[in-house]
Amino acid sequence: MMRKFIIGCLVMMIAIASFGCGNTPVKQEVSKQTPVNKDLILATTTSTQDSGLLDVLLPVFEKKTGYKVKTIAVGTGQALAMGEKGEADVLLVHAPDAEKKVVSSGAAINRLLVMHNDFVIVGPASDMAQIKGKTTMEAMTAIAQKGGIFVSRGDDSGTHKIEKNLWKLASIKPTSPWYQESGAGMGQTLKIADEKQGYTITDRATYLAQKKNLSLQILVEGDAKLLNIYHVMAVNPEKFSKVNHQGAKDFSDFLLSAEGQGLIAAFGKDKFGQSLFFADGGKTEKDFGF
């Protein structure tokens, strides 16, 4: 009788340990079964590729799950447009206002905060507009007033959206010849700005990853207006029946798992002495004052 009682107590203790008290959600493990559809299309911003982050994350994800990821790195606007047309399975982007519109339209679901870093304003060491150490608004105004060359991505990316909003907040309508558009990704835009000895806005991660090939320096940083947050979201299978929804879910789960968040948090430390991204699994935009 006593033996049965002890066994019963042990079973109950194991059950409690397994389910917990119900207050702390546990992130579901990524599926380890061979996927039915191995092909997964990821539409993302160029910053996740140009910074080298995807080169770290995707091989681990593919080896762990058996998926083969096709990455399409474009401006966030283009990535979101792909989601709205059902041309991708999962999106990893950084333009919160635009993202919310896509979710509201029903084209994407399960939008989750993954990580953040920040934008910086870079320019030549000569700094003809004398913006070093100024606030973001002061810097934008000085560049416009002094006609310093400013190279915009001009590609409807998340970076471009932030930049346009900053001009708007500064009550400035940028014009040529000092305002020029590259129509390219972040890495290429940095190269063009460097060649022209002009200014541009870039995410810190891409700048640090490209820094060895640039003479541009960080001149403005640390402003709350320059916060850069990334979300992952799945393209809605109820609207687009051919999307790989299980793959999108597994990819999202991986990014937000302890392993994925650990890789994100560690990325860049060995090479640059600092993390290029900050892992934010479990947080929401409210944690950043949005």
Residue 32 pLDDT: 64
- Per residue in 226-260, pLDDT tens? 999 999 999 999 999 999 999 999 999 999 999 99
Which positions ≥6 away from 288 have C-beta within 8 Å? Answer: 116, 227, 229
Average pLDDT over residues 1-10: 38
The pTM for the full model equals 0.80
Place of tokens 């993954």: 114
- Per residue in 161-180, pLDDT tens? 999 999 999 999 999 999 99
Residue 201 pLDDT: 98
- Domains in the chain, start-ordered, CATH in brackets? 35-116+229-288 (3.40.190.10), 118-226 (3.40.190.10)
> H-helix or E-strand containing 116?
strand 108-123
What count of Cα atoms within 13 Å lies in the side-chain half-sphere of residue 138?
10
| Whole-number Cα distances in Å, 208 to 29, 45, 71 | 32, 17, 22
| Whole-number Cα distances in Å, 217 to 15, 79, 220 | 57, 29, 9
Tokens of 231: 């979300």
CB 250 within 8 A of CB 30: yes
Residue 86 pLDDT: 98
